Amino acid sequence: MTRLPLPFQRRLCLAALLCTTMLASPAQAQFFGGDDEARQAILKLRQEVDALRTEGQRGRLQLANQIEAQQHQIMQMRGRLETLEKQVSDLRRNAGLASGQAGSPGPNTSDGNGSASGAEQTAYDQAIEVFRRGDYSAAAQAMSAFIQQYPGSSLIPSAQFYWGSSLYATKEYRSAIQRLEAMVSAAPRHPRAADALLVIAGCQIELGDRSAARTTLQRITRDYADTPAANTAHDRLQLLP
């Protein structure tokens, strides 16, 4: 159970002490001007206590909303980054072809994927563009369709990651966990594997399974210690009660 901040605890203790003092004896009640005034003072203190509790709950809710908003922003930024890096890769490839340099164009994305056919890459890029716009419901459908159409594509792990992330963004937490666990199981060394586990931990927290979330975050810090996700996982472990 999340504890109230220390100033709130002190004010609650003071309110309880004053209430006890007022009810201790008629003489003490008279100190406050009689029974009516004592009762009014008690009611006022109770209202202050209720207000403190509401304020604490509101603060926890605001913190949870801020964390969720930041996670959505991170996913959008990753989608934009992948699109930009692909554009850079295409420019380099075109520059090489223009200068007469032969050879493989190399990876198409920042996720460590091998080369894909033109049709595959186009379908994947279109799905990523939907994700980048923040239309997560449509992005989940697009990634699902891509996986069904190109089951042998080298882009499948990345598509699974963005599929699961889209499901997380639409609050389909159990489905998101299922998709992302499948991705990590099939490609544990993929550059997006640690990020997938972060999203899984977020889903587990939303489902109220903090024990599972802690286990997932600890796995990231243990198995992916050299990734930025490990730093994020470490920070989130400090926030878990």
pLDDT of residue 109 exceeding 50:
no
Please check the confidence at residue 67 and state whether its pLDDT lies above 70: no
pTM > 0.95: yes or no = no
Q: Which amino acid is at 21?
A: T
CATH class of 119-239: mainly alpha
pLDDT at 218 over 90: yes
- Mind listing the pLDDT tens digit for each residue in 111-143? 545 557 788 999 999 999 999 999 999 999 999
Alpha helices in 99-192 (DSSP H): 118-132, 136-149, 156-169, 173-186
The share of the chain scoring above pLDDT 90, in percent, equals 49
Task: Spell out a b/e string for 139-151, using b for 16 or more CB atoms within 10 Å of the CB, else e.
Answer: bbebbbebbeebe
Q: Mind listing the pLDDT tens digit for each residue in 35-63?
A: 677 677 777 777 777 777 777 666 666 66
Residue 202 · residue 168 · CB < 8 Å: yes
